[in-house]
């Protein structure tokens, strides 16, 4: 679904992403790990087109999207859940979810599957987003990204500041999405995460970043044997 080849990104004179290359396959969760400041969020923002890459290629479903705008990438099927959720606090839950349909015709309904995944959103449709708890806001942010039925879901640290019970719920949702999507078709997921146990439980493949480069990769089931936990704590 997603191919990233030789991506480099700079902020001023700082080389932030260094020849990043990987694939994210349909039906799998690709987990990107690394300490703060190694370029994980910049990588996701580059995938979404929020920041342009200096060199390299990004291909979605066989189509090069390297120079496309964020809204063009959204139309092609990328759903993005940013770090910190970034919901619209003064809009209702329903209005926040409808924002996820901005690339679809105005008559497009919200998928019923959203409320199967996150029942709490259905009960709070008319409540303002800013009145929700942190965990509920995270579910809303994921629901908004899913509303248009993306083929690739990109999430930036969805467990940050969330209580353990909702972390488990989010984990179950992500595994179901990878295998079934919203409509029964599997999707690809790229997950940036620092919570090791959550990452290890979900990862089909893992990537470890240091100083803007991928320095280690492998199958998710091998994370413990590969010493990834120790590398994260260095």
**Model confidence pLDDT, tens digit, residues 210-230:** 999 999 999 999 999 999 998
User: With contact defined as beta carbons under 8 Å apart, do 214 and 64 qualify?
Assistant: no
DSSP state of 131: G
The mean per-residue pLDDT over the stretch 9-28 comes to: 94
Please return the burial class of 66, using the count of CB atoms within 10 Å of its CB with bins 0-12, 13-18 and 19+.
Answer: middle
How many angstroms separate the CA atoms of 14 and 133, rounded? 37
At 106 the pLDDT is 80
Q: Which domain holds residue 165?
A: 2-84+152-233
CATH number, position 159: 3.40.50.300
- Tokens, residue 37: 């400041």
To the nearest whole percent, how much of the chain has pLDDT over 90? 87
**Which of 10, 44, 27, 16 lies closest to 207, judged by CA?**
44
Determine the number of helices (DSSP H) and then strands (DSSP E) in the chain: 9, 10
How many angstroms separate the CA atoms of 193 and 207, rounded? 11
Residue 233 has pLDDT above 90, yes or no: no
**Which position has the token pair 């019923």?**
112
Residue 67 included in any domain = yes
Domain count, the chain: 1
At 103 the pLDDT is 86
At 234 the pLDDT is 61
- Tokens, residue 177: 């999405």
Residue 164 included in any domain = yes
pLDDT in tens, 112-148: 999 999 999 999 999 999 999 999 999 999 999 999 9
Helix axes 164-180, 134-146, angle to 10 degrees: 10
The mean per-residue pLDDT over the stretch 6-16 comes to: 91
User: With contact defined as beta carbons under 8 Å apart, do 76 and 98 qualify?
Assistant: no
How many angstroms separate the CA atoms of 32 and 156, rounded? 9
Residue 104 included in any domain = no
Residue 100 included in any domain = no
Please return the burial class of 11, using the count of CB atoms within 10 Å of its CB with bins 0-12, 13-18 and 19+.
Answer: exposed
Residue 22 included in any domain = yes
217 Cβ contact partners less than 8 Å away, ≥ 6 residues apart: 22, 205, 206, 207, 208
Residue 29 has pLDDT above 70, yes or no: yes
DSSP state of 85: -
Residue 170 has pLDDT above 70, yes or no: yes
Please return the burial class of 140, using the count of CB atoms within 10 Å of its CB with bins 0-12, 13-18 and 19+.
Answer: buried
At 127 the pLDDT is 96
Residue 74 included in any domain = yes
User: With contact defined as beta carbons under 8 Å apart, do 190 and 178 qualify?
Assistant: no
Residue 63 included in any domain = yes
pLDDT in tens, 48-106: 999 989 999 999 999 999 999 999 999 999 999 999 889 999 999 999 999 999 988 88
pLDDT band at 11 (very low <50, low <70, confident <90, very high): confident
User: With contact defined as beta carbons under 8 Å apart, do 118 and 137 qualify?
Assistant: no
pLDDT band at 203 (very low <50, low <70, confident <90, very high): very high
Residue 151 has pLDDT above 80, yes or no: yes
Residue 160 included in any domain = yes
């Amino acid at each position: 679904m997603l191919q990233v080849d030789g991506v480099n990104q700079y902020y001023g004179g700082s080389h932030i992403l260094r020849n990043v290359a990987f694939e994210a396959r349909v039906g799998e969760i690709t987990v990107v790990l690394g300490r703060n400041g190694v370029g994980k969020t910049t990588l996701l923002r580059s995938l979404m087109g929020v920041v342009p890459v200096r060199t390299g290629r990004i291909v979605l479903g066989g189509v090069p999207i390297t120079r496309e705008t964020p809204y063009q990438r959204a139309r092609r099927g990328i759903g993005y859940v940013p770090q910190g959720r970034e919901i619209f606090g003064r809009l209702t839950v329903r209005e926040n979810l409808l924002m996820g349909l901005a690339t679809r015709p105005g008559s497009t309904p919200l998928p019923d599957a959203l409320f199967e995944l996150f029942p709490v959103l259905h009960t709070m449709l008319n409540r303002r987003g800013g009145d929700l708890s942190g965990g509920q806001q995270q579910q809303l942010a994921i629901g908004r990204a899913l509303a248009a039925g993306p083929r690739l879901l990109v999430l930036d640290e969805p467990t940050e500041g969330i209580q353990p019970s909702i972390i488990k719920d989010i984990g179950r949702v992500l595994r179901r999405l990878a295998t079934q999507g919203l409509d029964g078709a599997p999707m690809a997921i790229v997950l940036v995460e620092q919570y090791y146990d959550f990452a290890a439980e979900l990862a089909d493949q893992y990537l470890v970043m240091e100083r803007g480069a991928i320095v280690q990769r492998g199958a998710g089931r091998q994370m413990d044997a590969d010493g990834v936990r120790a590398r994260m704590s260095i």
